[in-house]
Structure 1
Amino acid sequence: MSDAMRPDTKAEPFLPGASVVLRSLQTFGERGEAVAFAVAGRVLVDDDDLAVVASPLGSAVRRRAGVGSGPNGRLVLPEDWDGDYLDDVWSGAPVVRVHQKGQPWSVWRWHDGSDWLPDWYINLELPWCRTHIGFDSQDCTLDVIASTGPDGAWSVRYKDEDELAFYVKTGHVSKEKRTSIERAGGDATAAALARAFPFDADWSQWEPSPAWATVRVPEGWSEVL
C-alpha cells in the first residue's frame, strides 16, 4: 500500500450533477496498481477546497472477486484476488461523501429520505485526486464512527482496528504505515470532537433527492493510467 497519490489528472472541476466514479487504488503484487473498489456517484460540489459526491440507491459498485479472509472474512488479499470484479449496487440509504482537499479522510452521512441518520462515518484514506472519470484515493482500512445519542451526547470510536492489525500481521501494511494511519485517525477523531468542518456544516445543502437517478460506472472505470 503506497503512501503517495498521484496529482490531479483533470484540471477543470466537475460541474454539479456530473456522474463520476470514486475509486480506491491499491498495489496487488505482480498485477501492479489496480482498482480495489469503485462506486458511482453524482457530484454536488467540486472546487479548490471541497468535493462532495452523493451515491443514490442503486448506483453501481464494483468489488474485487476472490476468497475473503481476515477477521470479518471480507478482506481479499492481493494474492487471493483473481483479477475480476463483482457487479453490485449501493444499498441501504443514499450516502453523501464530503472531502476537504488534501485531507486524509472523507466524512460520510446517510439520508433515509426524511432525515440524516445519526452516525457520521469518517473514512480514512489518502487525499482525493481528480481524474477524467471521477476521484481516486486509497482506503486505509481503519475508520472512525461519530454518533449522536438520543440525549444529544457525541461519541467517537474506531472501526476495523482488527482488519488493520490483520494487514500488519500478514505484511501487507508496514508498522510505519500503521502508525501513519493511526495518526490520521487521531486527527479525524479530534476534528469530530471539536465539531470542525464539515461536522458544523449545513448539510441540508447536500441532501439527496429521491428523484435522482442511479449512476453507472463509466467506460474504462477499471483502467489505471
Structure 2
Amino acid sequence: MSPPLRKFRPGERVVIREVLRGRVWTSRPVVVVEDSKNQFVSYLEPGTIIDYPIGAQHGRGTFSMWLSGEWELGDKEFSPPGMLRIAPVGQPFEVFAPVTSEAGAMSWYVNFQRPLVRTAHGFDTLDETLDLLVSSDFSSWERKDGDELELALEMGVYDQPEAQRILDSCAVVENALEHGVVPWDRTWRNWRPPVD
C-alpha cells in the first residue's frame, strides 16, 4: 500500500494536468497559494509556459481530437493577467479569477470539470465544457459554452446522463448564487499576486 500523497506548501510549484483516457491534454505549472482540507488554491503566473495541444480549437476541432485520441502537445505562453485558481475540495468545478496587483480578482469564471485528483506532482482533472461567468460582486452570472456542450453530446463525447450531470452541477452553483451563497471561498476577492 502506497503512502498517502502529501499536501503542498505555499510557494511550491506544482502541475495541474488535464488527462483524457490516460493521455495528457494540457499541463499548467502553478504556484501553490493554499492546500488545505477545504480547498486548493493556486496562481498561474503570466508568462508561464504551458503544454497545450497543437492546433486545438474550441468546439468540433477539440472534440474530434478527444474522440480520436490524436494530438501533440506544444508550448504556449500564458498571457496576462495572472489567474488565481480556487478549487473547493471534491467539487466538480474550479473557479478562475483574473487578478492584478491593483484590482485583485476582477471576475469569476466557474470552470466545470472533474474534481481535482491529487498526484505526487500536483493534480489531474479534465474540463467538462460548460462554464459560468460571474461578476466580481456575485450579483449576476451567465452560462458559457452551452452550445458546445450540445455539440459534444451530438458527437458522442458525452452521453445524455453525463451531459445532464454537468448541467445539474451548473444549476447547483446558480441556485446557490440566487440565494446569496457563494459556493467557493469569496475572501480571495481581495488577494493580490506577489510583486517581483
TM-score by length of 2: 0.87
Query: How big is the shift at 1:69?
Result: 6.4
Residue equivalent to 1:203: 189
Does residue 14 (structure 1) correspond to residue 8 (structure 2)? The answer is yes
Instruction: Report the AA paired with residue 88 of structure 2.
Output: Q
Instruction: Report the AA paired with residue 102 of structure 2.
Output: S
Deviations for 1:107-129, whole angstroms, at most 9, x for unmatched residues? 11111331135321001111111
Distance 1:69 1:37, change over 3 A: same
Instruction: Report the AA paired with residue 59 of structure 2.
Output: G
Q: For residues 200 and 88 of structure 1, what CA distance do their matches in structure 2 show?
A: 30
Distance 1:41 1:202, change over 3 A: closer
Query: How big is the shift at 1:188?
Result: 1.8
Conservation of the 8 A alpha-carbon contact between 1:10 and 1:130: no
Instruction: Report the AA paired with residue 17 of structure 2.
Output: R
Higher relative helix content? 2
> Mean Cα displacement is larger for which, 103-112 or 179-188?
103-112
Instruction: Report the AA paired with residue 141 of structure 2.
Output: V
Does residue 170 (structure 1) correspond to residue 164 (structure 2)? The answer is no
Q: For residues 67 and 115 of structure 2, what CA distance do their matches in structure 1 show?
A: 26
Q: For residues 131 and 56 of structure 2, what CA distance do their matches in structure 1 show?
A: 23
Instruction: Give secondary structure in 2 for the equivalent of 1:191.
Output: helix
Distance 1:126 1:79, change over 3 A: closer
**Which has the higher relative contact order, 1 or 2, with Cα contacts under 8 A spaced 6 or more apart?**
1
Residue equivalent to 2:90: 102
Share of identical aligned residues, percent?
A: 24
Root-mean-square deviation (Å):
2.4
Does residue 70 (structure 1) correspond to residue 56 (structure 2)? The answer is no
Distance 1:163 1:153, change over 3 A: closer
Distance 1:130 1:188, change over 3 A: same
Does residue 129 (structure 1) correspond to residue 117 (structure 2)? The answer is yes
Deviations for 1:41-97, whole angstroms, at most 9, x for unmatched residues? 0001002211001011111211112464636x6555235554310211211200001
Query: How big is the shift at 1:166?
Result: 1.0
Instruction: Report the AA paired with residue 20 of structure 1.
Output: V
In structure 2, list runs of 5 or more residues that go unmatched. none
Which of 77, 89, 92 matches 2:80? Answer: 92
Instruction: Report the AA paired with residue 113 of structure 1.
Output: S
The count of residues paired between Structure 1 and Structure 2 equals 194
Query: How big is the shift at 1:199?
Result: 5.3
Distance 1:199 1:69, change over 3 A: closer
Q: For residues 58 and 133 of structure 1, what CA distance do their matches in structure 2 show?
A: 21
Q: For residues 13 and 157 of structure 1, what CA distance do their matches in structure 2 show?
A: 34
Which of 57, 61, 80 matches 2:46? Answer: 57
Residue equivalent to 2:146: 161
Residue equivalent to 2:173: 188
